[in-house]
Chain A
Amino acid sequence: MTEMLSMSNNAPLFVGMMLLKLAVVFGVTMGIVAYATWVERKVIGHMQTRLGPMRTGWHGLLQPIADGLKLFFKEDIIPTQASKVPFLLAPMMILIPALITIAVVPFGPDVTVKGFLVPLQITDLNIGVLYILAMAGLGVYGIVLAGWSSNSKYALLGGVRASAQMISYELAAGITIIAVFMLSETLSLREIVALQSGSVIDWYVFKQPLAFGLFLITGLAEINRTPFDMPEAESELVSGFCTEYSSMKYALFFMAEYANMIVIAAIAATLFLGGWSGPLPESLGVVNLLGKVFAIMFFFIWLRATLPRVRYDQLMQLGWKVLIPLALANLAVTGLVVVLQQ
């Protein structure tokens, strides 16, 4: 019986493995963030019978690097009337919660290193799902602060809209997820994946189809993407909360948007689509997870190319009068079924 590697049985190896996992997960996430921008421009381009970026590298493959370098060397402007501290903090406060949420997403089965079991997950919190909700709640600050501290009316309007939107949709997302862990009877993402690992039929998407749909919609709204990209509705608000930002700070907002997209896709894949388990064999766990994440991200990009932006009042009505009642009904039905099954 191999032991789980921990701080108490082999401290140096534990710290080493932890750092390695952190570096790999961070590197892969940032890589996906960079190339998600390229994929998004390419996919939307082809959907609109354009070519998208073509100039830098083969089919524009070097475009993310060129963009990154360009933003890095641009002048960093801080408006004189801005509140300095919140203005500087806001881009970080939006990116960091997005990145640290990925820590609880399991990406493969346990592997054995030097006689110890190492889980392929940065940390398995037994409150994993709550941790995700908590970090989603912290993400609001970045947007609110960016909007307010810029001292510009467009930024402020964008910030207020975004936070109202995020608070309302967070509620619906939370209620939706409760239905999942009523079935799983655990909050740990690792165990939720294990419960779905039997076959494809065991995925929670088949037991909770409504919850899956609701989670994707509320997820889209929470990360402020089309059709819910009210905060940065450029036809009315210039660029929303990040209007006054430039250079790397602007790039951080951009990265946060794509990091959030990865997070929502990874959580949806883990909670509803069996995470790293299936359809390919266990040893290809990472491929399974990444495949599902990419599929969901492609779906998000596809939506962006297809749907127009909804009006703000429609957005709020959809959230409070349709999604939350549906989520509550789903919760009640799930509860009833769980009780009757016992």
Chain B
Amino acid sequence: METIFFYLVALVAVVSGFLVVRCQSPVNSALALVNTFFCLAVFYVMLYAPFMAAIQVIVYAGAIMVLILFVIMLLNLGTEARKRYTHGVVWAAIASLLVLVNVVFFIKRGRVTGAEGDITDYLIKTEGHTELIGKALYTEFLLPFEIASILLLVAIVGAVILAKKDV
């Protein structure tokens, strides 16, 4: 049952990933990308990581893609953008095929089940995925977390300064 569902979602993810590069209009490509992100969120749910799924949808599908869509729409890139980037398709195909072979090779070689860590299946079920992430984030990884927040603050200040010039 779960396997069938996985293949179904995987099919949708791969098809929409293909549509991202194949669609004629950039807006349709962006929509296909949203769909791919959504499928990734479904995979997170299937891996018992609902928090990651929600963040995936909120951040990628809900925020970043909306901005990308905005840029595409307001610049109104028509089909001329497509004509400009149609050279070297064959080489790109060969390169990506080689990468695919590489990936499959390494997956086959590695241990797919993964190493046993501190966070076990049992712990996730009893304590909850979100709680565990919260604890790890605010105790063990507090310093990286704070550094990331300072980085974001710098980015916000930078954005404000850049926007202020025009006003």
User: Which residues of chain A have a CB within 8 Å of any CB of chain B?
Assistant: 83, 85-86, 89, 125-127, 130-131, 133-134, 136-138, 140-141, 144-145, 148-149, 156, 160, 163, 167, 170, 187
Contacts and interface: CB of A to CB of B under 8 A. Distances in A.
Nearest to A137: B62
A130 B54 contact: yes
Given A86-B27, A89-B31, A141 B66 contact: yes
B70 A138 contact: no
Majority secondary structure, B binding face: helix
Listed from nearest, the 10 A-B pairs whose CB atoms lie closest are A137-B62, A130-B54, A134-B57, A148-B73, A127-B50, A134-B58, A127-B54, A134-B54, A140-B66, A137-B58
30 contacts: A83-B27, A89-B31, A125-B50, A126-B50, A126-B128, A126-B129, A126-B130, A127-B50, A127-B130, A130-B54, A130-B55, A131-B54, A133-B54, A134-B54, A134-B58, A136-B62, A137-B61, A137-B62, A137-B66, A138-B61, A138-B62, A140-B62, A141-B31, A141-B34, A141-B66, A141-B69, A144-B69, A144-B70, A144-B73, A149-B27
Contacts of A133: 54, 58, 62
A187 B130 CA distance: 9
B100 to A, nearest CB: 28
Nearest to A174: B58
B116 to A, nearest CB: 24
Contacts of A167: 63, 66
A9 to B, nearest CB: 15
A341 B51 CA distance: 28
Given A131-B54, A134-B54, A138-B61, A163 B66 contact: yes
A90 to B, nearest CB: 10
Given A144-B66, A163-B70, A187-B130, A130 B58 contact: yes
Q: Which of B54, B55, B70 has the most CB of A within 10 A?
A: B54
A85 B28 contact: yes
A48 B57 CA distance: 43
Contacts of B55: 130
Contacts of B129: 126
Contacts of B58: 130, 133-134, 137
B67 to A, nearest CB: 9
Given A148-B27, A148-B73, A138 B57 contact: yes
Interface string B128-143: 1110000000000000
Contacts of B70: 144, 160, 163
Nearest to A133: B58
A66 to B, nearest CB: 35
A89 B57 CA distance: 19
B27 A127 contact: no
Contacts of B28: 83, 85-86
